[in-house]
């Protein structure tokens, strides 16, 4: 993992001191609400429906065990004992007291963490593949490049007040697990015939009120020019993005209005002033960054140990289910990545108590070299587990309620906090998630359905990524009442697509029955071995609509 140098630590410490002074002036009445607003949002502080909310940055989803313990401490000491992991791999604390936030930021700084640029019209937390550095299908480890982007974008003087928020996602694997096609900028790292890193740059993706799939701006950018090209691209957005209407201010609107050819032309014209300038990356700088992301010292496992794991998997059905759904391949023979499910009936998806944070940190130290990953599906990952320790880890996770063997199934749903917390939400999303979890709790049925993404958002901001769920649910307001709109056919990954609205919205109590009818159509129409999204793409929306609205 990346460790702060003196520059990083000084920068974060000084920001804490600066914000403490700003908070004191605001509480004393020397700063107005209007003056304080841009200051607090740039430090991750929202004022939500019932209380303040602090959003803490987890850069590209990586946590050290001591950092997760600190997050647990903050949830225990300053909040209500739990935190919520988001689809941007950040952690939200939903009940802190306003006056305690500077102390919370100071504690974060003590473990090389912060809440800088987790809100506001700036460049947000860069995200990536949760299996970065260990994936079997990886061409380029994206983590060093993500850190370079983090350092470039933090406090960038030109991009403090962009037209709207700006999100970047990076992948270096054959399979896109970072959803780069639905980000403001998506980066796909690859290698040419000489082994040199090149970058495919997409722009104009995003969800929210006007969902769009990103388009390719440049297919083969040399690695040396990554930062200068990104700078040119964001400059074009900063100059020409709309500021008269916040609903039309994202870069996707600009790309659509200009057309990709004209947008590319403007970026290239801007890049001409930056190319080969001071921010051009050197081999020395990139090599130095790579040294922060070296492989841990892994034990060499014998063939016998690997065979014992396979034997145990064959003998223990419960363990086999966990391995099939929650355990993933690894580039090192004898090692696996393990997903810890933060989804179980009666619990809000993505939530973790302070005790569980401490316990997971202990497991990371014991089983995975002290490292934890956060996924944009709101789960956690231990990325370096030897197969001869998998059964012991599984048993410990089961005791903590984190071994639910349903990752990738309908039960592994994504859900934003919704109207229970968020002041922007039109409807509650957590009760809908609970109702679906209760309705579909037969694990054999979940396995029979196969891979299925169900995503729930409480408003059009789409923090639950409902547009790219195979089944998406959106909370809407109808004359002061909460209703829910269902969409089908969304997908993330290499073949991303946006869901289509099924029809008129439904009352909350009807949603589980609607989902049941949708699944009945799928089960009745699917060909052998066909997944939900494959069946949908073959038969289209009509059969689902006819069944649901019959």
Give whole-number Cα distances, 209 to 87, 124, 378, 491, in Å.
17, 19, 22, 17
Cα separation of 398 and 405, whole Å? 10
Q: Which CATH number fits domain 134-291: 3.30.750.24, 3.30.413.10, 3.40.50.1460, 3.30.460.40?
A: 3.30.413.10
Q: Spell out the CATH class of 414-549.
A: alpha beta
Alpha carbon of residue 469 to chain centroid:
14
Task: Give percent of the chain with pLDDT exceeding 90.
Answer: 98
- Give pairs for 475-483: CB < 8 Å, separation 24+: 475/418, 475/419, 475/425, 475/426, 475/427, 475/428, 475/429, 475/432, 476/426, 476/427, 476/505, 477/426, 477/427, 478/505, 482/419, 482/426, 482/427, 482/428, 482/508, 483/427, 483/507, 483/508
pLDDT score, position 346? 86
Q: For the domain 303-400, what is the CATH code?
A: 3.90.480.20
Parse the chain into domains and list their residue ranges: 6-110, 134-291, 303-400, 414-549
Would you state the CATH architecture of domain 6-110? Alpha-Beta Complex (3.90)
Residue 314 CA to residue 189 CA, distance in Å, equals 38
d(CA 268, CA 445): 52
The residues, any chain, with a CB within 8 Å of residue 315's CB and separated by 6 or more, are: none
Domains 6-110 and 303-400 share a fold: yes
Of the candidates 337, 331, 325, the residue with the CA atom closest to the CA atom of residue 446: 325
d(CA 43, CA 120): 9
Mean pLDDT by 10 residues, the chain (550 residues): 96 98 98 96 92 97 98 98 97 97 98 97 97 98 98 96 97 98 98 98 97 98 98 98 96 98 98 97 98 96 95 96 98 98 93 98 98 98 98 97 97 95 93 97 97 97 97 95 97 97 97 98 97 98 97
The interaxial angle of helices 317-326 and 390-400, nearest 10 deg, is 90
CB atoms within 10 A of CB 369: 18
Burial class (CB in 10 A: 0-12, 13-18, 19+), 480: exposed
- Please tell me the predicted confidence (pLDDT) of residue 165: 96
Q: Which pLDDT does position 48 carry in this prediction?
A: 87
């Amino acid at each position: 993992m990346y460790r702060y140098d003196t520059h990083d630590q000084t920068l974060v410490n000084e920001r804490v001191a600066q914000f403490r002074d700003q908070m004191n002036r605001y509480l004393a009445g020397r700063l107005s609400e209007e003056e304080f607003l841009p200051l607090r949002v740039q430090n991750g502080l929202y004022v939500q429906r019932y209380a303040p909310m602090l959003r803490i940055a987890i850069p590209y989803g990586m946590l050290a065990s001591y950092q997760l313990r600190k997050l647990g401490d903050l949830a225990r000491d300053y909040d209500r004992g739990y935190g919520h992991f988001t689809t941007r791999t950040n952690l939200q604390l939903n009940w802190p007291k306003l006056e305690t936030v500077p102390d919370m930021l100071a504690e974060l700084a003590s473990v090389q963490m912060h809440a800088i640029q987790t809100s506001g019209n700036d460049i947000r937390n860069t995200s990536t593949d949760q299996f970065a550095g260990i994936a079997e299908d990886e061409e380029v480890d994206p983590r060093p490049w993500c850190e370079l982007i983090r350092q470039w974008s933090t406090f960038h003087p030109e991009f403090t007040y962009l037209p709207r928020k700006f999100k970047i996602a990076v992948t270096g694997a054959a399979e896109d697990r970072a959803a780069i096609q639905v980000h403001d900028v998506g980066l796909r790292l690859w290698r040419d015939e000489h082994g040199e890193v090149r970058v495919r740059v997409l722009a104009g993706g995003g969800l929210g009120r006007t969902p769009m799939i990103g388009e390719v701006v440049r297919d083969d950018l040399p690695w040396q020019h990554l930062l200068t090209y990104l700078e040119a691209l964001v400059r074009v957005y900063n100059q020409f993005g709309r500021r008269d209407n916040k609903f039309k201010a994202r870069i996707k609107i600009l790309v659509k209005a200009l057309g990709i050819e004209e947008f590319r032309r403007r970026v290239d014209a801007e890049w001409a002033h930056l190319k080969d300038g001071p921010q051009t990356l050197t081999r020395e700088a990139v090599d130095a960054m790579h040294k922060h992301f070296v492989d841990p010292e892994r034990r060499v496992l014998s063939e016998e140990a690997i065979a014992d794991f396979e034997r145990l998997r064959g003998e223990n059905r419960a363990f086999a289910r966990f391995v099939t759904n929650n355990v993933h391949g690894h580039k090192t023979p004898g090692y696996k990545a393990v997903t810890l499910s933060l989804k179980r009936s009666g619990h809000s998806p993505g939530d973790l108590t302070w005790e569980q944070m401490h316990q997971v940190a202990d497991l990371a130290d014991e089983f995975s070299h002290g490292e934890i990953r956060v996924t944009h599906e709101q789960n956690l990952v231990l990325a370096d587990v030897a197969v001869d320790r998998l059964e012991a880890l599984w048993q410990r996770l089961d005791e903590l309620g984190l071994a639910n063997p349903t990752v990738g199934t309908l039960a592994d749903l994504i859900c934003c906090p919704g109207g229970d917390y968020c002041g922007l939400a039109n409807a509650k999303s957590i009760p809908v998630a609970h109702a679906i979890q209760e309705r579909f709790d037969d694990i054999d049925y979940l396995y029979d359905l196969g891979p299925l993404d169900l995503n729930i958002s409480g408003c059009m901001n789409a923090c639950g990524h409902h547009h790219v769920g195979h089944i998406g649910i959106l909370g809407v307001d109808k004359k002061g009442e909460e209703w829910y709109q269902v969409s089908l056919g969304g997908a993330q990954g290499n073949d991303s697509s946006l869901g289509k609205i099924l029809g008129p919205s439904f009352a909350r109590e009807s949603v589980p029955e609607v989902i049941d009818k949708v699944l009945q159509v799928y089960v009745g129409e699917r060909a052998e071995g066909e997944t939900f999204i494959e069946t949908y793409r073959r038969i289209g929306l009509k059969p689902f609509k006819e069944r649901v609205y019959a």
